Structure 1
Amino acid sequence: MPVQRAEQLARLLKAVADPTRLRLLSLVAGTDDGEACICDLTAPVELSQPTVSHHMKILVEAGLLAREQRGKWAYYRTVPGALRQLADALVQPLSSDQ
């Protein structure tokens, strides 16, 4: 696996390695339209809005979620293909010549 690919995969894995972030990602991905308002994400994880926003920022920086500001609320949606890319990376055999 090339160094750049390994670094990218490590960033993705680090982002989802936190149980709260994994739950938040699952909540957004599981919505009917693949989008959720930050206001709807605090209660399910029983955390404050600033704490949830911090976790969401990490998921956005990892390229798993996209953020859109609408008035005072932030809306998050999954990045097309990001979850598939993560899943594919996990099932591909690791090799130094890839």
Structure 2
Amino acid sequence: MIRYKQCKLNQKTVIDFKDEFYNEQDSLIEEVMSNFEITVGNINSIDRIIVTGGGANIHFDSLSHYYSDVFEKADDSQFSNVRGYEKLGELLKNKVEQESK
């Protein structure tokens, strides 16, 4: 029930943790953006940043608040990292096979 920011303990008791979730998320996103800007420098030099992985579904809206024209969420973001590594593995395998001929 993380999507609803709640935890159902039993039929009568549901704990709402929206406020805590959003406070922690704000802190996390501020830290990520600060480190990103320190590492990359001027973000205006970047055309786009594709947000991937399972966290994209949770954090994309907060990230795109900073630079809405830069951030883009990958389609089917939960599996996009896996597909990317699969493609990289195939390319490396093909390269090794070509070099061994």
TM-score (norm 2): 0.29
Larger radius of gyration between Structure 1 and Structure 2: 2
TM-score (norm 1): 0.29
